[in-house]
Amino acid sequence: MTRRLEGKVAIVTGASRGIGAAIAAAMVREGAQVVLAARKIEPLRAKAEEIGPGAHAIACHTGRDDAVDDLFAATFERLGKVDVLVNNAATNPYFGPLMNVEWSAWRKTFEVNLEGYFRCARAAARHLLGRRAPGSIVNVTSVLGQMAAPLQGVYGMTKAGVISLTQTLAAELGPSGIRVNAIAPGLIETRFSQALTSNPKLVASIEERTTLRRIGRPEDVAGAALFLASDESSYVNGQTLAVDGGWTTT
């Protein structure tokens, strides 16, 4: 074990399960103190206990300004600082033709997937700028933010917005030593994607197009997040790293 994040403090949103939980666990193994954030505290506490020392549970609805402020204030009180932010919390309440989406589902998707990312990124950046400290912000987007997303159009639009947000913040914050990058997963086997992964025909078609001939696991994304959070990526800024088994190469 290399302890690549020794002495670092990280916040990971959407961390009670799936990709976020895998990223948090990997960061703790690499020496970081990690705040696991999500809306419901009980699953967070259970996951933090499972991960072990170094994992801290703090409930937060990233779609609300006051909740994000409270998340960072609680982190500062408990751990003194933040060096790394992983924006991972996401929602996808509507699956179907874009023309039929209800405004309530549209607004909810943008609130969590894009506005929430910006709220957390701005809070982290302001803290790092105030400390005059370098840092890393990692935004989990999707390959659906880089192409047409039939039946998931609103989700795809928010993820495209995350890529644009990543590039702009990287340009604006880079001179201060704050790096901002993104990870674009393909299909990853989580509860969030269960509507897709539970369809054998759909999974088979995706595996056939994927050059590695399998769908992804949360741990596949965690490895990329570790790289972007650590000093190993100290000259990487404004980039979107596809973690999709080669799906976008075909």
Q: What is the largest CA-CA distance in the chain?
A: 52
Domains of the chain by start residue, with CATH = 9-190+218-243 (3.40.50.720)
- Report the distance separating Cα 147 and Cα 229, nearest Å: 26
Residue 193's pLDDT is what?
64
Q: Which of 70-79, 154-163, 208-217 has the least mean pLDDT?
A: 208-217
* pLDDT single digits (tens) 9-67: 999 999 999 999 999 999 999 999 999 999 999 999 999 999 999 999 999 999 899 99
Does the pTM surpass 0.85? The reply is yes
pLDDT bin (cut points 50, 70, 90) of residue 192 is low
- State yes or no: is 117 an active-site residue: no
* pLDDT single digits (tens) 165-177: 999 999 999 999 9
